Chains A and B, each alone.
Chain A
C-alpha cells in the first residue's frame, strides 16, 4: 500500500514536472542557442555509437537471414527483410535503448549533480527558473535528437546489410534494392517507424530529466537516479513499443 502510494506520488510529480517543462518550451525559440548546445552533447556525441551499432546490427541481420533464406531459395528478399526489420522495429527501439544508456544517463547525472551542488537553488535565488533554463532545453534537445538518430541507425543498418548481403554473400544488388522499393511502404512502414522514435524520444528525455531533477541530492542519490533512468526508460521503451506496434500494424 505504501509502495503504491509512493509510486503514484512520483507519477503525479513527474506529470506536473512534464507539464511545466512543456509550458517552458515556446520560450526556447527566443534563445535557441541553449538547445543547440544540448543537441551537441545529446546528439553529436551519441552519433558514433549509433553509426557503429547500426552498421553491425544490419550486418548481423543480413548474415542470419541469408543463412535461413538460402534454405528456401529466397535470398532475393534479403534486402526487404533487413529493411523492414530495421525501419519498423530495430531502428527506433535499439536507437532508443542506446540513447537511454549514452545520453539519458548523462542528462540525469548532470542535472542531479547540479541539484546536489545547489546550482539549481542558486538559479532560483537569481529569479531564473531552472525548468526554463536547464530542464527544458535538455528535454527538447533529446526529443529532437532521437528521431534523427533512429533514422541514421536504420539507414546505416541497411547499408551494412547491403555490404554483407551483396558484397560478401553474393545476393544480386538489383534484387536487393528493387524488392525494397517495391514492398516497403513509405507511410505504413517508414513513417510509423519515425512516429515510434518520436514517442521514444519524448519518453526517454522525460524520464532522464525528471530523474535528475527529482533525485536525492547526495552522491548516492545521483548514482541511483542514473541507474533508474537507464532501467526505467529501457523498460518504458520496450513496453511502449509493444503498444505502438499493436496500434500501428494490426
Chain B
C-alpha cells in the first residue's frame, strides 16, 4: 500500500517538474539565451527612440545579440548603447554602421548592424563610430507639415 502511494507521488512530482521544464524550455525564451559566450560593443546615438535593454541586435535581419545597457553621456550629450554580441559572430569590420530601426510600422525597435569594408575588425569593448538615430514618427510628421506649409507659401509667392 505504502509503495503505491510513493509511486503515485513520484509520478506527480515527475509530471510537475516536466511541466516546469516545458514552461522553461519550450514556452519561454530561456533556451535561446546564452549569455556566457558574448563580447561587448558600444555605439553612441543622438536619439535612441524606444530602444530598451534586451532589445535585439540584428544583422541582415538575423538576431546576433541584444542590448545590455543604455546610458546617457552628460559630456557629449549622447545616448551610449552597450550591446552583447554572440561570440560566433566575430567578423564585423571597424566601419560597421549601427542604426535603430523599427520592426514593422508599429513594432519594437532594434539595433541593426551593417558591416562595412574595413579589414580591421571590431573587438571586445570597441565602439562603433558610424551610427544612425532612431526615426521618431512625431518628428517626421512635424517636418512633413512644416514642408507642406512652406511649399504652399512658395506657390503663393510672386517670385
**Residues in A lying within 8 Å of B, measured CB to CB:** 33, 36-37, 39-40, 43-44, 47, 83, 87, 145, 147-149, 151-152, 154-156, 158, 177, 180-186, 189-190, 194
Interface residues of B (CB under 8 A from A): 2, 5-6, 8-9, 11-13, 15-20, 22-24, 26-33
Q: Which of B8, B19, B26, B27 is the one whose CB lies under 8 Å from A152? A: B19
The distance from the CB of A157 to the nearest CB of chain B, in whole angstroms, is 10
Q: Contact at B29–A182, with CB atoms within 8 Å? A: yes
Main secondary structure of the interface of B (DSSP, over half): helix
A180 touching B16 by the CB < 8 A rule?
A: no
9 contacts between A and B (CB under 8 A): A37-B2, A152-B16, A152-B19, A158-B27, A182-B32, A184-B28, A186-B29, A190-B24, A194-B20
Write the chain B residue with the least CB distance to A155.
Answer: B19
A36 to B16, CA, bound (A): 15
Tell me which residues across on chain B come within 8 A of A154, comparing CB atoms: 19, 23, 27
Given A148-B13, A184-B29: A87 touches B23 (CB 8 Å cut-off): yes
Q: Is the CB of A185 within 8 A of B15?
A: no
Asked whether B28 lies within 8 Å of A185 as measured between CB atoms, the reply is: yes
Interchain CB contact under 8 A, A185 and B9: no
Which has the most chain B C-beta neighbours within 10 Å: A37, A83, A186? Answer: A186
- CB of A186 within 8 A of CB of B12, answer no
Chain A residues in 8 Å Cβ range of B5: 36-37, 40
Contacts of A43 in B (CB 8 A): 9, 12-13
Nearest CB on B from A219, distance (A)? 29
A181: contacting residue among B6, B16, B26, CB under 8 A: B26
Asked, given contacts A151-B20, A151-B23, A155-B19, whether A47 binds B28 with beta carbons under 8 Å apart, the answer is no
Known: A39-B9, A40-B8, A194-B20. A87 touches B15 (CB 8 A): no
